Structure 1
Amino acid sequence: MGKVSKPKGKEGKPKDSFKQSMRLEHSRFGQHLLKNPLIVDGMVERAAIRGTDTVLEVGPGTGNLTLKLLPKAKQVIAFEIDERMIAELIKRARGNGLERKLEIRKGDICKTGDLPPFDICVANIPYQISSPLVFKLLLHRPFFRCAILMVQREFAQRLVAPPGDKLYCRLTLNTQLLARVEHLMKVGRNNFRPPPKVDSSVIRIEPRNPPPPINFTEWDALTRIAFGRKNKTLSANFKTTSVMGTLTKNYALIQSTLQSKQSNSGTTAPPHLDIVELQKIVSAKVDAVLVSTQFADKRARNLDVDDFIKLLLEFNKVGIHFA
């Protein structure tokens, strides 16, 4: 049987079908459409959606996952950036009598302001927004119950990596500080249209409620120092000229504030110290904390969340702050 030619346009090029053009356009936005219904069903099942839940979906595409969420939820709020996908999604929801349950918000979810309240997030996330989206979700208030997310395999492995693992990093630590993360299933690249260059995984994220009672700005600065040179010990990372300079300035500012308060209250203020003397004091305090916690010769990749919380609190006790 002869080969059937595609219809051609004025320039002699084959015309793309509507679905083909949507696939190409959506891949431009970094979204690969999940085509395997068994994986879609598995994600929905693990979400354990209740009839009273509002579900947040990111990058719904043509709605293969959305149409499974709508019958189970009270409402689905879907963020989509592509107008043609939105039109197709509305058409399919209307055709299934589910349009009243669907709210579509056009735009980049990472660039929007506060998210609407939701109970569960279920999404096949565009790879390039995985990290910012995860932290946008984890910082969202009020707390949601859980998120079932399809992400790039290596990204998933980083989130669940234990201390000492080669993939363990600041991303791991910061995620595990704010949430419990579980790897649910592996998903091969051939389950997508068009197939991405890497495999994927489905993970479950459950926010810690309440979150740890620490100063997150200080936490961020502390972990940046600790992971600054991943193959160096904590002692080596903390004793660099730039780090010691920053810690000394912070210490001087705090001491100046305390002296001002003591002067105003009539209490005798301690003598003023120059920057060289202050740096010696700060250096000694840093050494003392690292030795007392037994972390001086440890590397950041070998410490867990509780270790870093302990380290931050011990530094704060002796007047060392990171912000």
Structure 2
Amino acid sequence: MSDTHQHHRARKRFGQNFLHDAGVIHRILRAIHPREGERLLEIGPGQGALTEGLLSSGAQLDVIELDRDLIPILNGKFAAEPRFHLHQGDALKFDFQRLEPAPHSLRVVGNLPYNISTPLIFHLLENAALIRDMHFMLQKEVVKRLAAGPGGGDWGRLSIMVQYHCRVEHLFDVGPGAFNPPPKVDSAIVRLVPHEVLPHPAKDHQLLERIVREAFNQRRKTLRNTLKALMPASAIEAAGVDGSLRPEQLDLAAFVRLADQLADHPTPADSN
């Protein structure tokens, strides 16, 4: 067991579950379909299960890995390949501009640990103009929220803020047995494709975030109740929204209308 190259033990603090199922790896690579000359960015390559297939496509590959113990393993496997660039560090703090990608060119791939998946997706969305698409392995529950439509319990802040920026596709599910150690939950592969033209652009993105956060803070209550600190019932009606609805009954366009109403007519209560 002394050979660290073969036996890196997954560490709980990094939320590591290494992918080892060849069939699943092949299916993910088929879904991504990397091609020669493309710019790929892999987040958290682990022991390189996907890295090999991504590189063999002929693409340029940057990888970001936080766990220092994995760096020699990854370098040992891939450093001889001139198209491979390894960055040791935290993807949440990584400046994607450093890669100098052309607009809408970066293809992002990652088997994301649960604890960073949501903040990392938001960090990537801040750089959406650089990104062509993203393929992530996430907890199935998170993918269901990302891909949800209005009307159900999965529809919430994550669904709305991601769908504001991206088209979302829940591609397929992956059972715990595909990983070592097996996680306690099912996983799924999701594809996020940033819109080149936003379908429902808000006048003020921060106001949209604020309204969505307030609305879903108490998702069982009506909008009239949850938004009363931000806007009066008359302003909700003026946006063409029924204030007696609960937030999960509204689609993205309705939330954008609320935010735009507030942007055009800031209420006295909001002047602080």
Q: Does TM, scored on the shorter chain, surpass 0.5?
A: yes
Q: Which residue number in structure 2 is paired with residue 129 of structure 1?
A: 116
Where 2:41 maps in the other structure, the secondary structure is: strand
Mapping of 1:12-91 within 5 angstroms?
A: 18=4, 21-25=7-11, 27-91=12-76
Q: Which residue number in structure 2 is paired with residue 289 of structure 1?
A: 235
Larger Cα Rg: Structure 1 or Structure 2?
1
The answer to whether the Cα contact below 8 Å between 2:47 and 2:74 also exists between their aligned partners in 1 is yes
The answer to whether the Cα contact below 8 Å between 2:204 and 2:260 also exists between their aligned partners in 1 is no
Give the letter for the 1:304 counterpart: D
Mapping of 1:1-323 within 5 angstroms?
A: 18=4, 21-25=7-11, 27-93=12-78, 99-115=81-97, 116=99, 117=101, 119-140=106-127, 142-211=129-198, 212-239=201-228, 243=229, 247=230, 286-292=232-238, 293-320=240-267
Q: Which residue number in structure 2 is paired with residue 253 of structure 1?
A: none
Deviations 1:236-290 (A, max 9, x none): 1123xxx2xxx5xxxxxxxxxxxxxxxxxxxxxxxxxxxxxxxxxxx7xx22232
Q: Which residue number in structure 2 is paired with residue 277 of structure 1?
A: none
Quote the sequence identity (%): 31
The answer to whether the Cα contact below 8 Å between 1:44 and 1:122 also exists between their aligned partners in 2 is no
> Gaps spanning 5+ residues in structure 1: where?
1-14, 248-282
The root-mean-square deviation of aligned C-alpha atoms, in Å, is: 2.1
Pair 1:119–1:112, CA change in 2 (3 A): closer
The answer to whether the Cα contact below 8 Å between 1:55 and 1:73 also exists between their aligned partners in 2 is no
Instruction: Tell me, in whole angstroms, the C-alpha distance in 1 between the residues paired with 2:113 and 2:58.
Output: 23
